[in-house]
Amino acid sequence: MINVPKTSMMSAVSLIVPNVTKPVVKSVAPTVGKYLVPPAKKATLTSYSMSLLTGKGAMRVTSGIASTAQIRLAHTDLRVPDFSDYRRDAVKDSNKPTSESASSRRAFTYMVIGAGSVATAYAAKNVVTMFVSSMSASADVLALAKIEIKLADIPEGKNATFKWRGKPLFVRHRTAEEIAAEQAVDLSQLRDVQHDNDRVQKEEWLILLGVCTHLGCVPIANAGDYGGYYCPCHGSHYDASGRIRKGPAPLNLEIPEYVFPDEDTVLVG
């Protein structure tokens, strides 16, 4: 659909193309009585009323002896630049079909893109790894966070104190009587209910943080009513399993994470 400007000029032009017009005025004038009445002129006030007068349909071009429709473009004398420096070797010969080398040229292009993507993926992975690993603790910090204790140095019935992460760490070598007594404790008697087996990995070794759960004083070992620990600050009594038995403290003494790498050492942290 060609957008035709709706002017009187246009309608005049369209008249000479016989195919697409309807006449501006009817050819037969109506008569009223014996007088010849000129046709009423329609007012072309709106685009609709004008569109009734102008040509319809596509514009057509007529050709003939009198009309010249041909345009001659000056192209035969233009020199085409030589692009052979930019062409691939496979397509330099204009007499050879390019379809033969199409797959190898295409594969080469994709190979270049793929290799670049592989290198980019590798670089991106390393950048991400760098940032993520910078968030984790360094090796020296991790080494400081652990303590290795030789158990042979602690005689039976003794409680040794170590400094671990700025806090006192109790390692208690329990006697057989203590173990038997703690195993036999009635759980209904306890404030913070926990069986002795849940607090030790090996029965003879009790490892806990020497921080009273009341206000954080350091309890005294082998003291108090229950033979375990006694906090001098406000009088909390812990048994030989580190469980709160009497006094204001609400919870049992905390057990850190630890492992026994071999029979004679314990690694806390």
Amino acid symbol at 130: M
Q: What share of the chain is helix, strand, coil (3-state, %, to 5)?
A: 30, 20, 55
The pair of three-digit structure tokens given for residue 27, joined into one six-digit string: 């050819």
- For 129, the enclosing helix (H) or strand (E) is helix 99-135
30 binds other proteins (CB under 8 A): no
Q: Which of 44, 101, 175, 194: binder of other proteins (CB under 8 A)? A: 101
Report the nearest approach of other proteins to the CB of residue 262 (Å): 20
114 binds other proteins (CB under 8 A): yes
91 binds other proteins (CB under 8 A): no
* SS3 (DSSP) at 208: strand
* CA torsion through residues 255, 260, 261, 265, sign: positive
Q: Which of 22, 49, 98, 108: binder of other proteins (CB under 8 A)? A: 108
Of 7 and 120, CB closest to other proteins:
120
Stretch that binds other proteins, among 5-13, 97-105, 142-150, 237-245 (CB under 8 A): 97-105
The pair of three-digit structure tokens given for residue 23, joined into one six-digit string: 């006449």
In order of 91, 109, 232, the CA distances from 96 in angstroms are: 7, 21, 101
3 binds other proteins (CB under 8 A): no
Strand partners, 160: 171
Active-site residue among 173, 214, 234, 237? 234
Active site residue 173: no
Q: Which of 58, 107, 112, 144: binder of other proteins (CB under 8 A)? A: 107
Active site residues: 234
Q: Name the residues that contact other proteins, by CB under 8 A.
A: 100-101, 103-104, 106-108, 110-111, 114-115, 117-119, 121-122, 125
